[in-house]
Structure formats: structure tokens, C-alpha cells
Chain A
Amino acid sequence: MKAVVRLPSVDEDALLGAAYAMTAAAFVLVSRKGKGGAVELWPKKGAAPAALAAAFRREYANQVLRWSLTRDGLGLRAETLRRALLLAEAAGGRTQAPQASLTPEQKAEIAALLAEADADAGPKDPLGIARPWEESRKDR
């Protein structure tokens, strides 16, 4: 038992993307006819053909949006990447300027905070919740 989904007009990239996304749940065969396209789905195990068809339609709508965004921003991303690489090249491949070091006052403040944390014995445990199970058994 297979499901067949026919679309009157398709974005081919999205059609293939949606078909690919279905390969975990089904065996998939894609075809084109004019502006349209079709997908045949054979469930691998358990899935109902109608559910597969519905899942494919949802995935196709998703892929149409994803491919549209990909195409729209591609030139911009390529140019951004090109310029970023040029900047990295101009910097000699080194990392950015090192962070400013801490002042003596800041270091002293951090040391005081760490000492305070070390001196704190932590919350009290009157019910013995933090004690290991073996120790609590010894008392009995």
C-alpha cells in the first residue's frame, strides 16, 4: 500500500528536500511532469499512507520556505563571508586584541569572594538528606 502525492506546480529543490526528509519513514520515488511533480511513498513500517502523505505536504511547505530564504540571502551571506575572510587575512590570521587584564583591586575582590565561598560550610542538613545511603543504614 503506497501513498501518492501530486502537486500541480512545484519548487524542485523543495520537492527533493521534502522527499529526502521522508526517507526515514518511507521509501520515496520522485517524478516531474511539466510544472508539476509527484511523490510516491511506500511506508517502511507501521505508518499509514494517509499520514505519510499529510506529513509530506507539511514538509513540502516547510521546504518551500527554507529554500526561498536560502536563495534570497545567499549572495549576502557569500559577500559577508568573503569580507570576513579578508579582514581575518588583513589581521594576519591572529586573534583579536587580548582582553584588558584585571586591576589589582579587582583581583583582590575576586580572591575575597573565593575565600568567603570556601569558608561557607553550605546549607544545614538536619534530616540527613545529603548523607549517603550506607551511612544512614549504619545508624539502624
Chain B
Amino acid sequence: MKLVKGSVVFTLGKPLYGSEGLAAGALALGTRAQVFVGETKAAFSVEIKPAAKASPEKLLALGGEFLNEALNHEYRQRVVRANAPLTQAVFAPLFAKGFPAVPADPLEELEPQVKADRAKDIGDLLAQARGMS
């Protein structure tokens, strides 16, 4: 963290820090400061400008609060992702029970091409969704 003209500035590297972590940090500061974010391919640059004039100690505390909140968010997300197999073990049976197989669609029964087209569409959507994770 560096103090520059009444603001505190720092750089957060990707992918350790993501935009959601930055949002969490900004949310923690509320109305006490304005947060400006710049972005390059490799990092975010952040400037925090307090709502009222602040001492150097107060500026560092504002920046630090932002940093800790962003870190808190990133680490929690990581723990959630790491425990995904446990979450799946709990939820998969519930979803399987809650969404039983639907009866055959008469339209698909009459026209096999409809079934083939739908299967392709679903496959494309699933591939797209998997690519987002």
C-alpha cells in the first residue's frame, strides 16, 4: 500500500484476486471511501479515496480493511470449491429425487429429428456451461 495525495493505492495480481473480491472489499468500506479500480490483463490497480480527510494511519487502515475483506472473500471461495465433492454428495441425491425423469414427449416420439436437435442443443449448452467454470 502506498499513500498518494490523500489516497491509498495498491496493485492486486490476478488470478489470486478477482473482481468479486474487489467488490467485497469496496462493500466493506461503505460510504467511508470511494474506490477506483483499473484493470490490466495481469492485475487490478486500486485507489481508495476517503470521504473525509484522513491521517496516514487512517488511510492505511482503510486500505487494509479493503485488502483483508478481499482476501477473506477469495479464500472462502477457494474453500467452497475445494469442498465441492462433499456438497455434491449431499445435493446430488436431493436433486435426483426432486427432479424425476420426465415422461417421453409425444412430439419427439412422432418426429425423431426433434429429439436429435434437442439433444444437440442441450449438449452445446452443457459444453458452454462447463467452459464457464
Which residue on chain B has the smallest CB distance to residue A15?
B16
Q: Which of A20, A67, A79 has the most CB of B within 10 A?
A: A20
Which residue on chain B has the smallest CB distance to residue A29?
B67
Q: Which residues of B contact A57 (CB under 8 A)?
A: none
Q: How large is the interface on A (under 10, 10 to 19, 20 to 34, 35 or more residues)?
A: 20 to 34
Contact of B60 among A27, A28, A67 (CB under 8 A): A27
Contact of B71 among A28, A82, A89 (CB under 8 A): A28
Q: Which residues of A contact B67 (CB under 8 A)?
A: 27-29
Contact B85 A30 (CB under 8 A): no
Q: Which B residues between 1 and 36 are near A, CB-CB below 8 angstroms?
A: 1, 10, 12-13, 16
Q: Which residues of B contact A17 (CB under 8 A)?
A: 75
Chain A residues with a Cβ under 8 A of chain B: 12-13, 16-17, 19-20, 23, 26-32, 42, 44, 67, 70-71, 74-75, 77-79, 81-82, 85-86, 89
Which 5 interchain pairs have the tightest Cβ spacing? A27-B64, A78-B85, A82-B89, A23-B68, A20-B75
